[in-house]
Amino acid sequence: MPAPTTQSRRLLTLFATLAAAGAVHAVPITFTFEAVGGGSLGTQGFADTALTIVTTADTDDVVVGPNGRRVANATAWITLASGPTAQFTGDIYTVVNSTLSSVGVSDFAVNRAILFLSHPDAGAYDLASSTGPLTGTAFAFNTGFQHGTTLGPLVLNEISAASFTAAVVPEPASAALLLAGGAALLGWRRRVAAAA
């Protein structure tokens, strides 16, 4: 195999730079809380029902505070196993409380927590990377408090078993850029090999 030329070194350096730029760019992230609980969603009451809260955010929006981290959610939904799905209408954040080693969902519009999960690894979680599932003790702060949704108020009176998972969503533009760079480098190497 011939020694790398100045041109090949430049292409490799450019490819490595593009890969590094893609790695540090903020990306979308999805947080999923699964639990069993009781309360009401709009006019429908529920008890011992599986529920899922899914929120999405941008990793660039994570804010570090005195007790942990928080990130404003772009979207926040709750789905009950019994059927209804509703979007939260408040100012919903995903929150890590380092002091209590917990992660949860809070409604900042009314300054109330909705649901939190305690786990030994939760306090160190950065809200910017994939993790989980973390399974632990769940609790509903502000039992009986109303949180706005598109189907009417959500009221959680009790929460039992729960888990938390976070999944970074690869940014399509960065992935496409890396694939294009790799294809260009491969094509160039084939041309060099064919010319030799």
- pLDDT for 66-100, tens place per residue? 899 999 999 999 999 988 899 999 899 999 999 99
Specify the amino acid at residue 39: G
Q: What is the largest CA-CA distance in the chain?
A: 76
107 and 181 in a single domain? The answer is no
29-38, 134-143, 155-164, 179-188: least confident range: 179-188
81 and 177 in a single domain? The answer is no
38 and 104 in a single domain? The answer is yes
- C-alpha Rg value of the chain to the nearest Å: 23
At which residue do the structure tokens 């006019």 appear? 43
Tell me the C-alpha distance between 63 and 84, whole Å.
Answer: 32
Domain that holds residue 181: 12-22+173-195
Per the domain annotation, does 3 fall within a domain?
no
Specify the amino acid at residue 165: T
84 and 179 in a single domain? The answer is no
75 and 140 in a single domain? The answer is yes
Average pLDDT score over the chain: 82
How many domains does the structure of the chain reveal?
2
98 and 178 in a single domain? The answer is no
Per the domain annotation, does 1 fall within a domain?
no
35 and 73 in a single domain? The answer is yes
Per the domain annotation, does 67 fall within a domain?
yes
